[in-house]
Structure 1
Amino acid sequence: MKALRFYAPEDVRIEDVPEPVCGPDEVKIRVRNCSTCGTDVKIYHNGHPNITGTTTMGHEVAGEVVEVGADALGGFAVGDRVQSIAAVPCGECYECRKGWMQVCENQTSVGYQYDGGFAEYMIVPAQVLKVDGLNRIPDGVGYDEASAAEPFACAINAQEQVGIEEGDVVVVFGAGPIGCMHIRIARGVHRAGTIVLVDINAERLKMSADAVHPDATIDASTEDVVARVLEMTGGRGADVVITATPANLTQEQAVAMAARNGRISFFGGLPKTDPTITLDSNLVHYRQLHIHGANGSAPEHNKRALQYIASGQVPVKDLITAHLPLERVLDAFEIVRKGEAIKVTVEP
């Protein structure tokens, strides 16, 4: 079968490899869609500390069950349409037992420690099944939509942390697919009030705004974002700010524009070579600000994402603006890098 194999940074190859064999406690799927994200691009160029050998990339996976091991958990059957979690908790550590599976200290990942979905077939490991991380796709939801449930789940986790309330002013930095999902969730689930989308790429900002219709957009390459948000809110600032972009400046701007009792999500991680910001601690103190991290998602968030998609409460189909075959997966990475599409999916 064909698979995208990672050997080293910028040494990533589409190769013919043996079709994987399903173990007694595993499930084998025919991959129908594996969507791409900025993390794939970062891995391609820089590698990842959790990838210590050659592996098949891809972690936003949906497909069809073709084989079920005799001892596999979950009661799956050949022909089931399924979506897999990407971040795999151990289910046993202190954090998992507290219900904080998204910050499991022993977390492993599909496409890192386990071969991922940029391939014709993929083995769903026993650990995914153990934590109830393989989900049946609801009727009426396409494989492409289901593959978007994984990043969607990450956005759900982040918004749980900040607690968006009806009528809140919400600012989202980053007009990529995850920024679009944040807007859809904030509006469709939490009934946010005014929603503002910010980006430095004017073309991407327009493309995403045309899809998800924020109440306002700000081109941060030409405008003072903080001043504009304060002007729009009569000087009060934003109730919630989500930085869905790996940029240091946006985190500093988020603190500067937050209203009293404002909630901030540092959703996008910063480069490991430059992970620090200048924080005006007095703003945090006197405005009683709440700054939250957001690390991936738990299995439950994936289930909820599929439910929101199935109900139509948070549509994602129109956000998938490019469908490419596996042979063009590296082209998909380049489209993501340039921001030329909202969401790009690969169809092996």
Structure 2
Amino acid sequence: MKVVRFHAPGDVRIEDAPEPTPGPGEVKIRVRNCSTCGTDVKIWRFGHHHIDPPRVMGHEVAGEVTEVGAEVTGWQPGDRVQVIAAIPCGRCDQCRRGRMTVCPNQESIGYHYDGGFAQHMVVPAKVLAVDGLNRIPDGVSFAEASVTEPLACVLNGQELARVGEGDDVVVIGSGPIGCLHVRLARARGATRITLVDLNRDRLDMAAALVAPDATVCAAETDPVDAVLKLTDGAGADVVIIAAASGAAQEQALQMVGRQGRISFFGGLPKDKPVIALDANLVHYRELTIVGANGSSPAHNKAALQLIASGAVPVADLITDRLPLENALEAFDIVSRGAGIKVTIEP
């Protein structure tokens, strides 16, 4: 079979590999779609401290069960499935307290285990142990199901930021995650959603798909001034930074209103993780600042149902479909921001 395998920063190869065999507690799937994200591009360029190469990449996986290992019950060949990416241990204190997104023993598909940029993949027993293999509902395509994992991360972020009915929401960053934030905020009852980006072309492409109530190109207009004008000076209820930008995080503090919530959804570069924060703004305006780190198995189940119900449409966000042999082209599209969601179809 063909795989996309990481060997070293800048060295990702399309290679032949033997088909894997499921062991006890494992399930083998025929991968039908594995979508890409910015993390794949970062791994391609810089590697990752959790990856011991060579490693098959890809963590936004949907496919069809072809074989089940010993001791596996409830699954059979032909079942259509979506696979979680982040695998909590399910046993530590954080997991027992329901905080699976911050499990200190967390492992990941495409990092610790071979991932979905392959024609066939074995789902580890640890995934099944935490109920991380999900049946794809009828009417949901494999491509749509592959967007479950990023939507699950977005759902975690909006739950932490308490996005809800009547909120005035600003989303900074118009990539696939920003688009999913707009769609989910709408589904959760936000009254007005403003999408902000520095890149005019990318902003216009995203806005044409997800139809925010307002857009702000931060290269042309001061985004803080723009948001304050849109809100008659009150500021937004929620600001979500879906970009790796310290400047955007600092701007969020200036554009959020009293008792507002700020989500630091995008992590910052490891060499520049520190921002300037006016603590008095947080104090006197009673602001809440939250991080968001991945998703739990429960978030994946909920996200898949949001897609299936039509509450959060994702099919139109998939702008590019490429075969496995063109994976490096897919990474290039993502790195240039030339598409929204780019999926690989092995």
| TM-score bracket relative to the smaller structure | over 0.9
- Superposed CA offset, 1:44-78 (max 9, x none): 10111100221000000000000001212x51110
Aligned to 2:310: 312
- Superposed CA offset, 1:127-158 (max 9, x none): 00000000000000000000000000000000
What secondary structure sits across from 2:190 in the alignment?
coil
Measure, in 1, the Cα distance between the counterparts of 2:176 and 2:5: 25
- In the alignment, structure 1 segments of 5+ residues that lack a partner are none
Measure, in 2, the Cα distance between the counterparts of 1:339 and 1:193: 28
Measure, in 2, the Cα distance between the counterparts of 1:313 and 1:340: 26
1:61 aligns with 2:48: no
Shift of 1:306: 0.7
Shift of 1:164: 1.3
5 Å-filtered alignment, 1:1-348, equals: 1-72=1-72, 74-188=73-187, 190-348=188-346
Shift of 1:166: 1.2
Q: Provide TM-score, normalisation by structure 1.
A: 0.99
- In the alignment, structure 2 segments of 5+ residues that lack a partner are none
AA of the residue aligned to 2:35:
S
Measure, in 2, the Cα distance between the counterparts of 1:42 and 1:302: 23
Measure, in 1, the Cα distance between the counterparts of 2:97 and 2:3: 37
Measure, in 2, the Cα distance between the counterparts of 1:272 and 1:75: 42
- Superposed CA offset, 1:157-186 (max 9, x none): 000001112111100001001101001110
Measure, in 2, the Cα distance between the counterparts of 1:40 and 1:254: 27
Measure, in 2, the Cα distance between the counterparts of 1:55 and 1:346: 17
AA of the residue aligned to 1:158:
G
AA of the residue aligned to 2:68:
V
AA of the residue aligned to 1:192:
A
Measure, in 2, the Cα distance between the counterparts of 1:246 and 1:76: 39
Q: Provide TM-score, normalisation by structure 2.
A: 0.99
What secondary structure sits across from 1:119 in the alignment?
coil
Runs (4 or more) in structure 1 with deviation over 2 Å come to none
Percent identity between matched residues is 64
AA of the residue aligned to 1:234:
D
